[in-house]
Amino acid sequence: MGPYPPDADRMVMHIEFVALVKQVPRTGEVEVDPETGNLVREGVAAQTNPYDLHALEAALALRDRLGGTVTALSMGPPQAEDTLREAFWMGADRGILLSDAAFAGADTLATAYTLARALRDIPHDLVLAGMQTTDGDTAQVGPGVAEFLHIAHASYVLRIEEADRREVCAVVDAGDRVQRVALALPALLTVTREVNQPRLPSFRRRLATRDRPIETWCREDLAPPEGEEAYFGLEGSPTWVEEIFPPPGNPERETWRGRPGELTDRLLAQLEEWKYL
Ligand SMILES: Cc1cc2nc3c(=O)[nH]c(=O)nc-3n(C[C@H](O)[C@H](O)[C@H](O)COP(=O)(O)OP(=O)(O)OC[C@H]3O[C@@H](n4cnc5c(N)ncnc54)[C@H](O)[C@@H]3O)c2cc1C
């Protein structure tokens, strides 16, 4: 029998991490259907939302240090499996895709509800999400999931300082100041790009996880309670897109060309004229 109590430094905790990962169109290739106002996703090259790679990295790094498992969770069409495969190649232990025609057309509220509903059946001590996506860009889904689950949450995390079985301490960008927060687990954090540098997918892990199944859950698997049957997809989405239009151009914009020294003199003269200097 080993010494008792065991050496605290060598004690391995078991913390259940969940990373929310979304597949998005590659930036720059997004078009909007002028009739419906929805993004045209068919035939567009896709990638994992860049912020979600930071969320996944945060979960993996904490798991590697503290012990536990990382589940990658995504809602999307069948091709979103690629994003979960990438999560395996980075080191995720489990991948779950929520995919059903009933989830289509979801706004941020219905998306958050669907993810939260699934999380009720997925052990989670700490849920990590990106601060926003590069297509929808609303930054609403992470906090929405936490609210549906009634768990603590913090957004725009710049740094995760400490974590253990009971709480997580993080530094967050609060706009006009930086805040240090401590949250009792279970909790949810949305992370910025500053939080870490995501590891690259590994060829070794790619081979090792080649046969690992991705679980696909449909609406029936989420078993909504009575009264919440219509909370999914378009039916559960109170938002609608009224009009999509490019932002108006700025007719007063000027472009100055010239040598750096001339441009600097001109800029200084202009700032003096406007009384900024
Ligand atoms: C009327 C309407 C119809 C729409 N129809 C569709 C549609 O048919 N198909 C479609 O794809 N989008 C549709 N959208 C867009 C959809 O609402 C958003 O893409 C989605 O709710 C996520 O919002 P967001 O991209 O702003 O995420 P944000 O709130 O910016 O994301 C923050 C973080 O939440 C997590 N997250 C967000 N979405 C997911 C997800 N799906 N899975 C896992 N994690 C996630 C990620 O970690 C992400 O970094 C529709 C929107 C509206 C208003």
CA nearest to 131, candidates 120, 122, 140, 118: 140
Query: Which amino acid type is present at position 211?
Result: D
Residue 247 is predicted with a pLDDT of 72
Q: Is 98 in the pocket of ligand 1 (CB under 6 A)?
A: no
Separation of CA 111 and ligand 1 centre (Å):
6
Residue 51 near ligand 1, beta carbon < 6 Å = yes
Rounded distance, CA 63 to CA 247, Å?
A: 43
Please give the residue that has the higher pLDDT: either 223 or 26.
223
Contact partners, residue 112, CB within 8 Å, separation at least 6:
140, 141, 144, 145, 147, 148
Per the CB < 8 A criterion, the answer to whether 186 and 171 are in contact is: no
- Count Cβ atoms below 10 Å from residue 161 Cβ, excluding itself: 12
36 pLDDT band (50/70/90 cuts)? low
- Asked whether the predicted pLDDT for residue 261 surpasses 90, the reply is yes
- For residue 226, the 8-state DSSP code is T
- Domain hosting 128: range is 11-236
Question: Does residue 7 register a pLDDT over 80?
Answer: no
Nearest CA to ligand 1 atom 49: 130
Please answer whether residues 139 and 131 qualify as being in contact, where contact means their C-beta atoms are separated by less than 8 angstroms.
Answer: yes
10 has pLDDT over 70: no
Cα-flanking dihedrals φ and ψ of residue 22, to 5°?
Answer: -120, 140
**pLDDT tens digits for range 193-235:** 999 999 999 999 999 999 999 999 999 999 999 999 999 999 9
The closest alpha carbon to 157, from 148, 166, 168, belongs to 168
Nearest C-alpha to atom 51 of ligand 1 is from which residue? 107
**Is the confidence at residue 272, as pLDDT, over 60?**
yes
Let me know if residue 17 belongs to a domain: yes
276 within domain boundaries: no
CA distance 53 to 21: 8
Q: Which of 33, 107, 234 to mutate to test the pocket of ligand 1 (most atoms within 8 A of CB)?
A: 107
Could you report the per-residue pLDDT of 137-182, keeping only the tens digit for each?
899 999 999 999 999 999 999 999 999 999 999 999 999 999 999 9
What was the pLDDT predicted at 125? Answer: 97
Is 245 within the bounds of a domain?
no
Quick one: what percent of the chain has pLDDT higher than 90?
80
Is it the case that residue 8 has pLDDT exceeding 70?
Answer: no
CA 6 to chain CA mean position, Å: 37
> Coil, strand, or helix at residue 63?
helix
- pLDDT, residue 37, reads 65
Is the residue at 260 inside a domain?
no
Nearest-angstrom CA–CA distance, 173 and 80: 30
Per-residue pLDDT at 248: 76
Structural domain contains residue 254: no
* pLDDT over 50 (residue 39): yes
Q: Among the residues of the chain, which ranges form H helices?
A: 50-66, 81-90, 108-119, 141-149, 203-208, 219-222, 260-273
End-to-end CA distance of the chain: 75
Q: Supply angle C-alpha 52, 55, 61, rounded to 5.
A: 140
**CA 173 / ligand 1 centre spacing (Å):** 22
In a domain, 258, yes or no: no
Question: What is the total count of domains within the chain?
Answer: 1
| 96 part of a folded domain | yes
In a domain, 263, yes or no: no
Q: Quick one: pLDDT band at residue 267, thresholds 50, 70, 90?
A: very high
Residues 6+ positions from 202 with CB-CB distance below 8 Å: 89, 90, 91
CATH number at residue 85: 3.40.50.620
pLDDT at 6: 45
Q: Is the CB of 140 under 6 A from ligand 1?
A: yes
pLDDT of residue 137: 86
